[in-house]
Amino acid sequence: MAQQGLEISPRDVDLFLPSGDAARLMAETLGEFVESLPHRRASEPFTSYRGHCRIEGVEIDLIGELVIETPQGNVQLGADSLLWRRESSLPFQGWKVPSIPLEIQLVTYYLMPKREDRVNQITSLLKDRVDLELLDEFLVEQTITPPVTAGIRSLLRKEK
């Protein structure tokens, strides 16, 4: 998120993967750096496959098949999600690094408890550059209640 313009000091790198199998394969690839193998973990409102690595002092969370379930809606970032069908990347030290679009992050943080500050940060970044087609496609794909959908869209309305 820092690479996308949010003024934050990252404490770790979250590496999202489309499935538990993909998280386990990534852990196998990272071998000696793995501190805990990905396993299914549920902690309301989240369910995912989570593992942990450390490379040269940098903490890396392996997160496979993330699901967020709340009364306001559900987000599923499994292999069938728009997240994996729509390519999004950022330049980083001469590489193209896959990233989660801020529009998708806005929806996920909006559903998380006590994340209003992050929602506001993302909203302020997206105000002038939001991809409404992406946002709408993601909102339709997920199970989000109409009031939440309206609330997210209202955050991004341009002031007249």
pLDDT of 4 higher than 70: yes
Domains and CATH numbers, the chain: 12-70 (3.10.180.10), 80-160 (no CATH)
Residue 93: per-residue pLDDT: 86
Q: What is the reported pTM?
A: 0.90
Q: Looking at the predicted structure, is the pLDDT value of residue 120 above 50?
A: yes
pLDDT of residue 10: 83
Give 55's strand partners. 58
Q: Which residue has the higher pLDDT, 159 or 87?
A: 87
Distance between CA atoms of residues 25 and 100, nearest Å? 20
Torsion angle of the four alpha carbons 71, 77, 78, 79, in this order, in degrees rounded to the nearest 10: 150
Residue 34 backbone phi and psi in degrees, to 5: -75, 130
How far is 17 from 78, CA to CA, in rounded Å? 8
Could you write out the DSSP letters of every residue in the chain? -GGGT-----SSEEEEESSHHHHHHHHHHHGGGEEEEEEEEEETTEEEEEEEEEETTEEEEEEEEEEEEETTEEEE-STTSHHHHS--EEEETTEEEE---HHHHHHHHHHSTT-HHHHHHHHHHHTTT--HHHHHHHHHHSEE-HHHHHHHHHHTPPP-
Task: Report d(CA 64, CA 5) in Å as an integer.
Answer: 25
For the cut 60, the answer to whether the pLDDT of residue 141 exceeds it is yes
Q: How confident is residue 8, by pLDDT bands cut at 50, 70 and 90?
A: confident
pLDDT of residue 87: 84
